[in-house]
Chain A
Amino acid sequence: DTGVSQNPRHKITKRGQNVTFRCDPISEHNRLYWYRQTLGQGPEFLTYFQNEAQLEKSRLLSDRFSAERPKGSFSTLEIQRTEQGDSAMYLCASSPPRQGATSEQFFGPGTRLTVL
């Protein structure tokens, strides 16, 4: 399977614990995006990388959230001191080098986080 993969698919944690999610983009896709989707809502942009550089962070991304893409390939999203409000589906997407403004983003299956 050469699509975007995310691990784990599900994570249940207790409030106050730290969690880390991983995203493996499609090979040779230089852009990688993180989105968060809460129940009944569409996905909301969190942050994105071009190669290893983090180019933008949404104001939704509080100080407890950090994302990395150290070698420009896979990315991790860490949430420290989780809160119940962090419960959501975390989606990763990747896109190839920009070709005009129409390069498509390919989404992974997501990681569903439940904070008890």
Chain B
Amino acid sequence: AQSVTQLGSHVSVSEGALVLLRCNYSSSVPPYLFWYVQYPNQGLQLLLKYTSAATLVKGINGFEAEFKKSETSFHLTKPSAHMSDAAEYFCAVKSRDDKIIFGKGTRLHILP
């Protein structure tokens, strides 16, 4: 069965600093992986997705993620944090029967 584990329920970075949100996956088949962002009292917005075409995936708002099979990881990064990046971020994997299985989320805090 597929699953994802997000390391760190809260991450704080200074404005302008590198953002790194960690995600490890477990899957018996080549995974389809996603990162979603959720702003307060809103639904989920897709940041980016990995579909086996390229290991480095670029998303919206300057985010990107790299698929590393050897490490079973799909960490999310952004070179320079902005105050507007403060939100909750979810790593997710798509199951073979089309369900999306989410991690528990990482709340990103941006320090001025």
Please report A residues at the B interface, Cβ cutoff 8 Å. Answer: 4, 6, 31, 33, 35, 40-45, 48, 56, 91, 93, 95, 98, 100-102, 104-110, 112
Contact of B41 with A by CB under 8 A: yes
List residues of chain B with CB within 8 A of the CB of A91: 43-44
Interface contact A45-B105, CB-CB below 8 Å: no
List residues of chain A with CB within 8 A of the CB of B44: 43, 91, 93, 107
List residues of chain A with CB within 8 A of the CB of B99: 33, 45, 48, 56
Size category, B interface: 20 to 34
Given contacts A31-B98, A109-B43, contact A102 B51 (CB under 8 A): yes
Picked from B9, B51, B97, B103, the residue with its CB within 8 Å of the CB of A56 is: B97
Contact of B75 with A by CB under 8 A: no
Contact of B82 with A by CB under 8 A: no
List residues of chain B with CB within 8 A of the CB of A48: 98-99
CA distance A22 to B9 in the complex (A): 31
Picked from B42, B46, B51, B100, the residue with its CB within 8 Å of the CB of A45 is: B100
Chain B residue with minimal CB distance to A43?
B102
Interface residues as binary, B15-35 with A (CB distance below 8 Å gives 1, 0 otherwise): 000000000000000001000
Question: Which residues of chain B (49-66) have a CB below 8 Å from chain A?
Answer: 49, 51
23 inter-chain pairs at a CB distance below 8 angstroms, sorted by A residue, are A4-B43, A31-B98, A33-B100, A41-B105, A42-B104, A43-B44, A43-B100, A43-B102, A44-B102, A48-B98, A48-B99, A56-B97, A91-B43, A95-B98, A101-B51, A101-B94, A101-B96, A102-B32, A102-B49, A104-B49, A108-B43, A109-B42, A110-B41
